[in-house]
Amino acid sequence: MKGGCGKGLGKVGAKKRHRKIARENIQGITKPAIRRLARRGDAKRLSGLVYNETRNVLKSFLEGIVRDAVTYTEHARRKTVTALDVIYSNFKMFMII
């Protein structure tokens, strides 16, 4: 294999692709998305401080769900997390989707 510069770069000496600098993934939960969730809960106005706090609460909630789902997966001696693992981890947290 010549070059070894990465996938899709067949020419010898081709430049490596630039990798995007990943910001916090939790910032992908946008302000309009949080506003839509608040509207569903009958909130009319939101303070500016609500958005980061909502992201933090959501992040901790999802970390718990993923941790439990991975525990179920490891117990079953699998390497792939299935949808049932996530559902069972939701049941563990007493929340039904």
**Domain membership flag for residue 5:** no
**Domain membership flag for residue 97:** no
Within 10 angstroms of residue 69's Cβ, the number of other Cβ atoms is: 21
User: What's 32's domain CATH number?
Assistant: 1.10.20.10
* Residue pLDDT, tens place only, 12-35: 666 667 777 767 888 999 999 999
**Domain membership flag for residue 44:** yes
Instruction: Quote the number of domains for the chain.
Output: 1
End-to-end CA distance of the chain: 49
pTM (2 d.p.):
0.68
pLDDT reported for residue 13? 61
**Domain membership flag for residue 3:** no
**Domain membership flag for residue 43:** yes
**Domain membership flag for residue 14:** no
Tell me which residue range forms the domain holding 40.
25-92
Which stretches of the chain score pLDDT less than 50? none
pLDDT reported for residue 40? 97
DSSP state of 76: T
Is 85 exposed, middle or buried, given 0-12, 13-18 or 19+ CB atoms closer than 10 A?
A: buried
Is 89 exposed, middle or buried, given 0-12, 13-18 or 19+ CB atoms closer than 10 A?
A: buried
**Domain membership flag for residue 12:** no
